[in-house]
Amino acid sequence: MEVDALIVEGATNEFLLGESWMMKKGVKIDFVSCEMKWYEDDTKKIVPFQCSGNN
């Protein structure tokens, strides 16, 4: 997957994806499993992320 990104000094542990990209891909953000999910063609993509509120 290729993305355009803006790197901001001091934000080394955070990454924000654009809303237009997420809407286009139909991205679901699952805060229970801390995963982003979407389909690319017929392949399900799952990207884990760290939830700061997890105990």
pLDDT value of residue 21: 83
* Domain-located, residue 38: yes
Q: Is residue 5 part of a domain?
A: no
Q: Is residue 53 situated within a structural domain?
A: no
Domain that holds residue 26: 19-48
This prediction has a pTM of: 0.61
Total count of domains within the chain? 1
Q: How far apart are the first and last CA of the chain?
A: 31
Secondary structure (H, E, C), the chain: CCCCCCCCCCCCCCCCCCHHHHHHHCCEEECCCCEEEEEECCEEEEEECCCCCCC
Render pLDDT for 5-55 as a digit per residue (tens, 0 to 9).
666 666 566 666 778 888 888 999 998 998 999 999 999 999 888 777 655
Task: Classify residue 9: in a domain, yes or no.
Answer: no
